[in-house]
Amino acid sequence: MTQLSLPEIPPYDEQAAAAARQRQNRLTKPTGSLGRLEELSIQLAGIARSAAPRIERKAVVVMAGDHGVVAEGVSAYPQVVTTQMVNNFLNGGAAINVLGRHVGAEIVIVDMGVAADLDPHPDLLVNKIGYGTANIAVGPAMTPAQAVQAIEAGIEIAVSLIEQRQIDIVGTGEMGIGNTTPSAAIAAAITGQPPAEVVGRGTGIDDAGLARKAAVVERALEANNPNPEDGLELLHKLGGFEIGGLAGLMIGAASRRVPVVIDGFISTAAAMIAVTLSPGVRPYLIAAHQSQERGHRIMLDWLGLSPLLDMDMRLGEGTGAALAISLAEAACRILSEMATFDDAGVSDREG
């Protein structure tokens, strides 16, 4: 199989995390009273190697790609919607654009494998690996070389954003009709769970469609028989160009000590690929929310991640990631801007 060269991931800084925890315990509040916000600030400190991490420049990277498996009737929407929604992103009219503006995050749109040529746009990055993947129900999604290309493109995008635009935190988003099916196949392959336990309704398919989708995932696993411990093989046989790109994005960001906020079901499948390829990525990941997709909790449990939000969301696009980025920024501000008992002249608890 084609060789993949991955950047080194620096270790999580336990000393910086300990210093952040010590400071949290001296802030003018009962210890632990800000709950997950405190733990998030400590994680961000360990990532940044600083007891006072800062988040100022934020980005959500939305990667788009099409999927040959739509031929199996696994989506309620036609494939052309991928192209139409990418244009909507570029025109600023989608949910992710609204939430990006709300939290002050730049939205980066990437064509990783849309099944059409998009009109040139100054805000569109074109890294098209192919015009959609092949049908995973009958064979591999892509060639091994294309899998490598997708991951390396994601790494390059992350490094470029961080080095050229000084991005402090990256959120992941995606667009691709049919992409919950390869994501479910990846989840089933890695966790060993039966397809019926991880397959969800995606864009809103009915009961018959749900049963058909689970059967398609079963066929994909039988047709491809991927090695669950080989991230590149999983991507090559079951994945999507945007899934590979997001996995690379996570690896690239972690290599530069930048936290990654993963969105929902598809982004979490990409995170599973990333961690399988490069286990050191795991401490750099923040789970934005609990998706309505059935298998999402199983995937998050495998990653050892607890979602920050549970709002019955299942849109994708990076919408959950955008909301969670605002929590990450709030966590950093609490840690660095809130007064300690000593600063404020407030009496600490007795004993």
Active-site amino acid positions: 317
Residues 6+ apart with CB under 8 A from 198: 184, 187, 188, 191, 217, 294, 295, 298, 299
Tell me how far apart the alpha carbons of residues 168 and 162 are, in angstroms, rounded to a whole number.
7
Closest by CA to 177, choosing from 318, 67, 252, 274, is 67
Tell me how far apart the alpha carbons of residues 254 and 249 are, in angstroms, rounded to a whole number.
9
Tell me how far apart the alpha carbons of residues 172 and 146 are, in angstroms, rounded to a whole number.
21
Q: Give the orientation angle of helix 207-224 with respect to helix 180-191, to 10 degrees.
A: 60
Sign of CA dihedral 323, 338, 12, 296: negative
Residues 6+ apart with CB under 8 A from 56: 168
